[in-house]
Amino acid sequence: MNFFTTFGLAQGKALCYSGYRHGQSPDSGVYPTYTQIKEDLLILQKHCAYIRLYDCSLHAETVLKVIDQEKLDLKVMLGAFIGAELNNFGCPWGTIFTEEELKKNTRHNLEEIRKLIKLANQYPDIIFSLSAGNEATVDWTDHYVSVEKVIRYVKMIKKGAKQPVTFCESYVPWYDKLKRLVDEIDFISIHSYPIWEYKHIHEAMGYTKQNYQGIADRYPDKPVAITEAGWATNSSGRGINPENASEEFQAIYYNDLIEWSEKEGIMTFIFEAFDEPWKGSPEALEPEKHWGLFTVDRKPKKVFQ
């Protein structure tokens, strides 16, 4: 099933975009400026037609404003970031919330969904699809939300906005856990990270194809997009063998993934446009910091040199 023709979209490349630079992060509330985001998007529009945003923060508002005011040729998948409404005692790094914190998160999630709907209606020509959350139901998440609640959020979004609605999640829960959600959304969005699952570069593309095909075969009447797939270029050894993380391997995986996606008509968002130094542990080689196709200083890595 060709994703682009199904939704009447022009076929094109897609990137996940988080524009936080040194000293900026969503946690600190220090956001990139209009000028910085404009600089980023002028770089990115040379490499893609679609970008994915994870939340409805000031960062997302500025991105949409820049695209609108600068008349940039970019379309956006806009997501709502929904925080933990339940404790997940299976989370490997063990984040536990008080009842009051969980209630506060639930109130914030409702506000975030309303903001998503508002922005969708404010920028109908820029925002082409909406996501009701990101990695909130998988076994290891630290921002766990029940499937029933995600379904409720999806219904709210569909009632309030006209764009197609999805939910972005690892491929694993789609097999069974999210079966009830499939009927409510317009398309399925999966994440595939061979390097996190200890696959060597020579196994990587075959593994991502397997992740995709397993879900596409399970739900033949529902379009499937890949909303995250990428390759880290550095690792401290936490979860990823340092020998398996490099710019050379990133370039191989990127090129193989793009070639296959274009041939099959699959919308595939590469993770991530720029390195994100605010993420993960303080270690310089923490793998979470090193997924960018560009460095945090906006210099192209091998894949784009």
Instruction: State yes or no: pLDDT of 94 exceeds 90.
Output: no
Residues facing residue 268 across a β-bridge: 226
Q: Given this model, what pLDDT does residue 255 score?
A: 98
Query: Is residue 73 scored above 90 in pLDDT?
Result: yes
Band of the pLDDT at 193, cuts 50, 70, 90?
A: very high
pLDDT at 17: 98
Q: Tell me, what CATH number does 67's domain have?
A: 3.20.20.80
E strand map for the chain: 14-16, 50-53, 75-79, 127-134, 165-170, 188-192, 224-229, 268-270
Which sign, positive or negative, has the C-alpha torsion 194, 253, 278, 50?
Answer: negative
Amino acid at 29: G
Q: What is the mean pLDDT of residues 150-160?
A: 98
Please state the rounded mean pLDDT for residues 116-135. 98
Residue type, 277: P
The first and second tokens of residue 176, run together, are 């069974």
Choose among 298, 296, 203, 208: nearest CA to 244.
203
pLDDT tens by residue, 30-72 = 999 999 999 999 999 999 999 999 999 999 999 999 999 999 9
Q: What is the pLDDT of residue 88?
A: 97
**What is the residue range of 278's domain?**
3-304
CB 137 within 8 A of CB 173: yes
What pTM does this model have? Answer: 0.98
At 96-111, the pLDDT tens digits run 999 999 999 999 999 9
**3-state class of 258 per DSSP?**
helix
* Rounded Cα distance, 166 and 254, in Å: 24
Domains identified in the chain, total number: 1
Confidence of residue 138 (pLDDT cuts 50, 70, 90): very high
